[in-house]
Amino acid sequence: MLHFSVPKLYKAIQGAKKLMFRAEGWDHNPVWEGKAAKDLQHMSWKWLKDKKVYGAETGSWVMDTDGVLTEVE
């Protein structure tokens, strides 16, 4: 059985310049679904352009359904 863990992958990637976001309320396929798709595209573009998203340059974050970010240890 295949088990994929994004947090384990995040920890396995070396270096300090990395971000991980978990978005509350996003369905199984946010790339194609309404507001989630726009948010994901915006976040990806900001990372590629500025190397930060919503002011965050590193770390693991949770974004609630209102768009509020909370850092996760």
pLDDT in tens, 63-73: 888 878 899 87
pLDDT value at position 27?
Answer: 67
- Summarize pLDDT for 4-61 with one digit per residue, the tens: 678 888 889 999 888 888 888 776 677 677 777 788 888 889 989 999 998 899 998 8
Contact between 50 and 40 (Cβ < 8 Å): no
> 4 to each of 1, 7, 8, 38, 68, how far by Cα in Å?
10, 9, 8, 25, 26
Three-state SS at 52: coil
- Give the separation between CA 60 and CA 35, rounded to whole angstroms: 22
